[in-house]
Amino acid sequence: MRSTSALERLAKVEKMFFDKTGTLTKLPMKVKSVFIAKSAKEKEERRKNLDGLEKNFVQVIASVEHGSEHPLARAIVEYANGMELSKPESFTALPGLGVTAKLNGENIVIGNERLNSQEQLTISSEIKQYADSMRDDGQVVVYVGWGGQVQGLVGLGETVREEAQAVIQRLQSRGLNLGVLTGDDEQAGRRWQEMLGIPVYAGLKPNEKMTHIVENTAMIGDGINDAPALAASTIGLAMNHGTDVARTAADIVLIRDDLRVVPWLFDLSKATMRIVKENLGWAFIYNIIGVGLAMAGLMKPVWAALAMVMSSVFVTANAMRMNKYPLLDGEILVVE
Ligand code: ADP
Ligand code: MG
């Protein structure tokens, strides 16, 4: 916890938003398919040298993605494992969209459909079809383009974290209102909504994620694109593998990268605040009685001093009950 008021604010939370990629998805992600567009002229040459061509293609995208911290980028670099990568002349990360870079004099664009239209890349029906079939297979589609055209695709496998369903149920059973904020496309959003049974808001840019944050809302994320929402939320929680920007913007960092910590922490915050309130209530009543007795001349100063010390002992002992709070170890133990 990066601030002392984190637990107090967490206890007030009524609504929680999760980021999708990197937060609800299992890491590392893996490249499942690579598709390179065919042009009639190149077809013949391609048949002869498909391996070389794919190698070249992977080399180019991995060289660019090497500069990105995004889970998709890491998967692509991992896929190119062992290949020699070049250093781009320039590189720009566009949170929620993808990356652009200049490599060997060519402007390379790697990202989602929104980035394609922003960069005005044309896309052939062949590629469109292939992208749809990747999506039907549940893959995340990354478009790769240069020279004004989408030149190929990378499909990445995406699965939900094992603990996600249980975590969602636990949080719902505590009356929290849950949702997912993602920069991924609508189709992926619908799939995840069906799978998780909570609302998924898709196609969001970083500032659009932020507009969903209202009072008493927690945000859990990992990316640069989550940082504004993490900072704007009542309490932000960042995954430990996440970007520095996300971890800095958050109040709590999940060092174990385990989502089960979220309901555990929520319960801990409630238990802590209950004890704080008990102590406050106790001290208030105790003091009113004590001061009343003293004013009526019914308590000698020496007894009053002793009473004050006893009050502190009681309050401290009550607070120390938190030392027995069950730790999150393997399974979550919850004190009801
Ligand atoms: P989420 O909000 O679910 O974590 P992001 O906003 O991080 O997702 O990413 C949204 C989309 O932007 C991704 O699905 C991907 O299409 C694209 N994107 C972001 N960063 C990259 C990158 N480094 N390489 C390729 N695509 C990227
Ligand atoms: Mg993310």
CATH number (domain holding residue 89): 3.40.1110.10
Are residues 34 and 20 part of one domain?
Answer: no
Query: What's the whole-model pTM score?
Result: 0.89
Separation of 20 CA from ligand 2 center, angstroms? Answer: 6
Q: What angle do CA 64, 66, 70 make, to 5 degrees?
A: 100
Asked which of 140, 157, 174 is the last residue of a domain, the reply is 157
pLDDT of residue 47: 59
pLDDT of residue 50: 62
Residue 331 in domain: no
Are residues 280 and 171 part of one domain?
Answer: no
Separation of 226 CA from ligand 2 center, angstroms? Answer: 7
Residue 266 identity:
F
Question: pLDDT averaged over the chain?
Answer: 92
Which ligand has the nearest atom to the CA of 239? Answer: 2
Residue 280 in domain: yes
User: What percent of the chain stands above pLDDT 90?
Assistant: 88
Separation of 138 CA from ligand 1 center, angstroms? Answer: 15
54-90 residue pLDDT tens: 889 999 999 999 999 999 999 999 999 989 999 999 9
Separation of 40 CA from ligand 2 center, angstroms? Answer: 38
Q: Which residue has the tokens 């090497």?
A: 66
Are residues 227 and 147 part of one domain?
Answer: no
Phi then psi dihedrals of residue 137, to 5 deg: -85, 5
Measure the CA–CA gap between 182 and 156, rounded to whole angstroms: 16
Residue 335 in domain: no
Are residues 186 and 126 part of one domain?
Answer: no
List the CATH number of the domain containing 188: 3.40.50.1000
Residue 38 in domain: yes
**Is 329 annotated as catalytic?**
no
Residue 204 in domain: yes
335 exposed, middle or buried (CB, 10 Å; 0-12, 13-18, 19+)? exposed
What confidence tier does 333 reach under pLDDT thresholds 50, 70, 90? very low
Residue 224 in domain: yes
Are residues 148 and 57 part of one domain?
Answer: yes
Distances (CA, A) of 276 to 8, 153, 262, 308: 10, 55, 21, 18
* CA-closest residue to ligand 1 atom 18: 98
Distances (CA, A) of 286 to 275, 281, 292, 294, 313: 16, 8, 10, 12, 13
Residue 113 in domain: yes
Asked which of 157, 191, 218 is the last residue of a domain, the reply is 157
User: What percent of the chain stands above pLDDT 70?
Assistant: 94
Q: Which of 19, 184, 226, 267 is catalytic?
A: 19
Are residues 149 and 91 part of one domain?
Answer: yes
251-303 residue pLDDT tens: 999 998 999 999 999 999 999 999 999 999 999 999 999 999 999 999 999 99
Q: What is the mean pLDDT of residues 177-199?
A: 96
Which atom of ligand 1 is least distant from the CA of 112? 16
Are residues 282 and 181 part of one domain?
Answer: no
Instruction: For ligand 1, pick from 34, 63, 70 the residue to mutate: most ligand atoms within 8 Å of CB.
Output: 70
pLDDT of residue 29: 94
Are residues 203 and 310 part of one domain?
Answer: no
What confidence tier does 39 reach under pLDDT thresholds 50, 70, 90? low
Measure the CA–CA gap between 71 and 6, rounded to whole angstroms: 27
Asked which of 157, 177, 194 is the last residue of a domain, the reply is 157
Residue 329 in domain: no
> In which domain, by residue range, is 14 found?
6-26+160-258
Q: What is the mean pLDDT of residues 300-317?
A: 92
Helix (H) or strand (E) holding 206: helix 206-211
Instruction: For ligand 1, pick from 20, 21, 27, 135 the residue to mutate: most ligand atoms within 8 Å of CB.
Output: 21
Are residues 196 and 237 part of one domain?
Answer: yes
* CA-closest residue to ligand 1 atom 20: 98
Are residues 126 and 240 part of one domain?
Answer: no
User: How many separate domains does the chain show?
Assistant: 3
> Does residue 334 register a pLDDT over 70?
no
Which atom of ligand 1 is least distant from the CA of 184? 14
